[in-house]
Each structure stands twice: as structure tokens, then as C-alpha cells.
Amino acid sequence: MVKVDYHTHNSRCGHASGGIEDYILSAIKQGFTEIGISDHSPFFHLEQDFGLPGMVMAKSEFPSYIEECIKLKDKYKSQIKVRVGIEADFFEGQSHHYTDTLNDQPLDYIIGSIHYVNGVHIFDKSRWRDPDTDPVTAFNSYYDQMISLVKSDFCDIIAHPDAFLAFAPPIYDQCIEDKKEQLLSLIGEKNLTVEINTSGIRKYGEPFPKKETIKKLHQYGAVFTFGSDSHSPDEVGYEYDLVVNMIREIGVYEWAVFNGRKRSFLEIL
């Protein structure tokens, strides 16, 4: 049986607090059996070292990030399994800059994310106040990018697939619904791992993805792991029990876990 949290950040990205060790200690205190370290990857597709200060780590920091993760993995091996991961943004046409680097690293998993739509961060509320923003166009762009990510074999875990909903105005458009359904069915068809990310609860009251979407993904054939998307050590495992109860109702009893980029399944604790 396993209790996991595969999505944690730390001070290297510039918008989280605490060091890697603080997150490991928080997980140990709460009885987790595995903790994944998955800070924001450098923007490898950009020439500059610090692609986006305050959002991602610098390229020059990446080797020391891996080194520290490996060191702490060994230090705490008798108390918890520390998995070495990274959360990498997917930019269509640029993914080779990431895979060329990441595939040579001793990573246990890669989380693939879409954080930018038309150059604006998905959680930037000002997008929806801009009179030039057409919500239908924006959502179509988001789902197109998500579909490209899923088709790309870029990562091991798909991050927060409906995160764009967090601050968006209520909207119904059949084209968008069809595109979302295409995304979910494709994830299932490829039997991919989707994280249930509880930062959604902190942002808008529901996990990413929300319960009805998790249910559809399960029916299509997707599998799941847990991620708090913690940006401070006290957020590790955020609403873990709530999510476990939710997915057991849906008929999910195992977490996908990773070791050396290989997936296996263990019963949920």
C-alpha cells in the first residue's frame, strides 16, 4: 500500500518557499510512503540562462537540483522513497530542447504541463477582464495545446488537464465540449497517467481535474496519481484523504507510481 504526493515545488522556482528537504520532512511527518520532488524545469528552449525569473529555475541551477535530490533520496531512504521528478512546460515545436536534456537525467518521472496560452499564464485573471479576449478562442487554444502534449509522448504524468477553468467565466460551447472530450478519450486511449492535483481546491474549490472529469477519464482508460502541487512544505499532501475517498467512489483503488521512468501500480493507502 502506498501514500504518495508526486507534485511539489521548492524555492528554486522563485515562487515557492522552503527547500527540498523541508518537503521531504513534511511528507515523513504525515506518513507518506513516497514523495516526489518536481520543481519547474528551466525553459530549455530559450537562449538565456534564466528564462523566466520568479517562475522557473535557471538552466545553470538544474545540475545542482538533480544533485540535491539524489543526495536527499539516499539520506532519507530508510524513512521514505524520494522520487526525483521535474515539471516541464510543453511548448509545441520546442519539446526536443527538453527531451534532449531530461532523457539523460536520473529522473523517476516527468510531469508535463501547459501553463501559457497565447503567451499569458493560465492563472492570470487579467486575461478574462481584457475585452479583446474571446473565451471560446482561448479555450480552443488551451485544449489544442493539451491534445498536442498528450500526442507527443513528452512526459510520464499529465498535469492539471482542466486547470484553465480555475478563473475563467462560465462558458458553454459545443466545439469546446467536443475538443475536451477528444482530449479525455485520447488520454484514455493511450492509457496515460493523470495527476489529481489539489491546488485546484485551493484555487476554485475542486481538484484538477474535477470529479466528473476524473470519472470520464477512468471510463476511457486513464490511470491516476496524486499531486498537491505544494508551494510550501505545509501544503504537502493537501486534501489527500478527500481525494482518496472521491476516487474510491469512482472505482479507483491504485496509484500509479514511478521509478526510473517506469510505471507500476500500488494499492492506495
What does the H/E/C string look like for 215-257? HHHHHHCCEEEEECCECCHHHCCCCHHHHHHHHHHHCCCEEEE
Q: Distance between CA 147 and CA 143 in Å, rounded?
A: 6
Domain boundaries, the chain: 4-267
Which of the four pLDDT bands, split at 50, 70 and 90, describes residue 224?
Answer: very high
- For 84-118, the pLDDT digits (tens) are 999 999 999 999 999 999 999 999 999 999 999 99
The 3-state DSSP class for residue 83 equals strand
**Cβ atoms of residues 208 and 226 within 8 Å:** no
pTM greater than the 0.95 cutoff: yes
**Number of Cβ atoms within 10 Å of the Cβ of 78:** 6
pLDDT at position 172, please?
Answer: 85
pLDDT at position 171, please?
Answer: 84
Q: Distance between CA 119 and CA 85 in Å, rounded?
A: 25
CATH superfamily to which 4-267 belongs: Metal-dependent hydrolases (3.20.20.140)
CB under 8 Å to 138, separation ≥6 — which residues? 117, 118, 127, 164, 168
Q: What is the mean pLDDT of the segment spanning 72-80?
A: 98
Angle of the 20-29 helix axis to the 62-75 helix axis, nearest 10: 30
**Number of Cβ atoms within 10 Å of the Cβ of 215:** 17
